[in-house]
Chain A
Amino acid sequence: MSHSNYLELTGVGISFPTDKGLFCALQNVNLRIAKGEFVSLIGHSGCGKSTVLNIVAGLHQATTGGVILDGREVDQPGPDRAVVFQNHSLLPWLSCYENVELAVRQVFKGQKSRREMRDWIEHNLALVHMTHARDKRPSEISGGMKQRIGIARALAMQPKVLLMDEPFGALDALTRAHLQDSLMEIHADLGNTVIMITHDVDEAVLLSDRIVMMSNGPAATIGEILSVDLPRPRDRMALAHDAHYHDYRAAVLEFLYQRQQRPAA
């Protein structure tokens, strides 16, 4: 990791005007992420995890502070910060192939030939093991498959940082495990820089290099950052009996359920 300041969030905060005055949702978020690092954001609902992600994506504008990615300030959305949305957000009228194609054409217009683009789309579909469904519409495949296509679309943009907003939140436990394994494989192969929002403690410990634990809002901020020093490649079966794994897990749980009481739901 040549430079540890690949992605820099400095004093990021956001407030919304309401009838009762300014509402401060997020304040003073400082985070430095190295190239190739896998970082999870975890916290209770409404703690501003998604807001942080959307600010990095450029979909929201921070009121204070700012984000610098690879030496350039983030001020609008762009394909160098590809987003995997929670509910996949595939275009329902396009096939899986065409969904990825839309992104590839937009990003590599004038850089790749038609043939190169086709190979690149096929390559990314193969990466998420979805070659068999290339001509199916999103309505014809399962939720897990849709999310795979969503990941393929994001990867195909060759983003500097991959932003994942609770990507596996809506999936059943088995499908989720499969997708987590796929994601670990891809991360090991390509060395992407990833920020992932999750509310699943096991998922956070299994996948992350660091876990960013957020305090509750209003005026939410980073509560604590936990470095996960488990050797890669990680294997979920082996980790089930690993004492360090359980320590990390306990640390996150302790933060979430003792120091940050769940807001009355």
Chain B
Amino acid sequence: MSNPSIATPISNTVKAARTQALLKRWAPAVILPLAGIFAFLMLWQLVANNIQTSLGQFPGPVQVYTQFNALVDSHLAEREKANAFYERQEKRNAERLARDPSAEVKIRPYTGKPTFFQQILTSLYTVMTGFAIASLIAVPLGIVCGLSKPLYSAMNPLIQIFKPVSPLAWLPLVTMLVSALYVSDDPMLAKSFLTSALTVALCCLWPTVINTTVGVANLDKDLQNVSRVLNLSPLSHVRRIVLPAAVPMIFTGLRLSLATGWMVLIAAEMLAQNPGLGKFIWDEFQNGSSNSLGRIMVAVIVIGLIGFALDRLMLLLQRHASWDKNADLR
């Protein structure tokens, strides 16, 4: 670098090329999505400023962020209260035992209002229960329908009729059924939980049934012939040939089912009053304070993020379970 007047233009072009390369690498993955989100936030704030509702101004991103922090704070405060409640009990119990070692001591559970974050956990638990019930029924049903044309012909109209039914239509029926059939003095599960989970199961059954059926029915003719030449028993035919071949389609169905289930859950929880995100939104709506709309918006965004995370989780599972590592799964 004895002559800077020559070196500078060269290093400039190198720099420019490097910047371009960096842009090319990061633009699709990071820069463009961020730009999209930023533009959306600006537009949202702009529109929100111009909408007046009976509960005050429509919340923009700033208000929503404030409400999110408020929810975090109230969650922490509630937990502190709960801890203090248990500490007080333990102290009291210890004192009582010191006075009379044969005394019967009890720890009573804290019965405060569930916070936003506890409601998220309840929702996740409910949707997973419903999804698990649905999968346990849908995958075997799909396999049987895929293997047997007559059975498929018999089942197909039912599948097609029940598939488009809204969860809101099922819910009253499920509620009454649960009330009638789940009678117990000391119920292990809350009725509202069962109602929500079963409604989720009813609605997210169908994508898995249909995709599993298609995956099994489209088994490669040559692989079928291999199985016939080997004289595989029906059971090992399913286990060794059919199931692995259908795994990609089964997972496509499961992903669609989980996404459907998550959407259905919110509606179900609203009406069944299951203490989850759906109930949170409903309660805020009924509450009607000036913070309510902001809190509902927080819930909306959290619902979206969790839905996205659940789908990614299923994608990871699918990649792990699929034999075709070259398949472009997205």
Contacts and interface: CB of A to CB of B under 8 A. Distances in A.
Contacts of A82: 229
A77 B220 CA distance: 17
Interface string B229-248: 11110001000110011010
A43 interface: no
Contacts of A58: 228
Interface string A34-62: 00000000000000000000000111000
Interface in A79-112: 79, 81-83, 85, 87, 89, 91-93, 102-103, 106-107
A218 interface: no
Contact of A139 (B226, B232, B324): B324
Contacts, number: 51
A243 B98 CA distance: 114
A158 to B, nearest CB: 13
A78 interface: yes
A52 to B, nearest CB: 16
Contact of B323 (A78, A93, A106): A93
B328 interface: no
Contact of B232 (A92, A106, A137, A157): A106
Contacts of A77: 225, 228-229, 231
Nearest to A139: B326
Contact of A78 (B225, B226, B231): B231
**Residue of B226, B323, B326 most packed against chain A (CB within 10 A):** B226
B223 interface: yes
Contacts of B220: 89
Contacts of B241: 91
Query: Does more than half of chain B's interface fall in helix, strand or loop, or is it mixed?
Result: helix
Contacts of A78: 229, 231
Given A91-B244, A102-B240, A57 B230 contact: no
Query: Does more than half of chain A's interface fall in helix, strand or loop, or is it mixed?
Result: loop
A85 B226 CA distance: 9
Interface size class of A (residues with CB under 8 A): 20 to 34
A93 B229 contact: no
Contact of B228 (A59, A93, A103, A107): A59
B222 interface: yes
Contacts of A102: 230, 240
A90 to B, nearest CB: 8
A264 B189 CA distance: 73
A79 B225 contact: no
A57 B247 CA distance: 29
**Residue of B222, B225, B229, B236 most packed against chain A (CB within 10 A):** B229
Contacts of B222: 85, 87, 89
Nearest to B222: A89
Given A102-B240, A139-B324, A139-B326, A91 B229 contact: no
Interface in B95-120: none
Contact of A79 (B230, B236, B247, B326): B230
B229 A57 contact: yes
B127 to A, nearest CB: 30
Given A102-B240, A139-B324, A139-B326, A91 B231 contact: no
A57 B245 CA distance: 24
A93 B220 CA distance: 14
A59 B223 CA distance: 13
A137 to B, nearest CB: 8
Interface of B: 220, 222-223, 225-226, 228-232, 236, 240-241, 244-245, 247, 323-324, 326
22 contacts: A59-B228, A77-B225, A77-B228, A78-B229, A78-B231, A79-B229, A81-B229, A83-B225, A83-B229, A85-B225, A85-B226, A89-B220, A91-B240, A91-B241, A92-B323, A93-B247, A102-B240, A103-B230, A106-B230, A106-B236, A139-B326, A157-B230
What 7 A-B pairs have minimum CB-CB distances, sorted nearest first? Answer: A93-B323, A89-B222, A77-B228, A93-B244, A106-B230, A77-B229, A89-B226
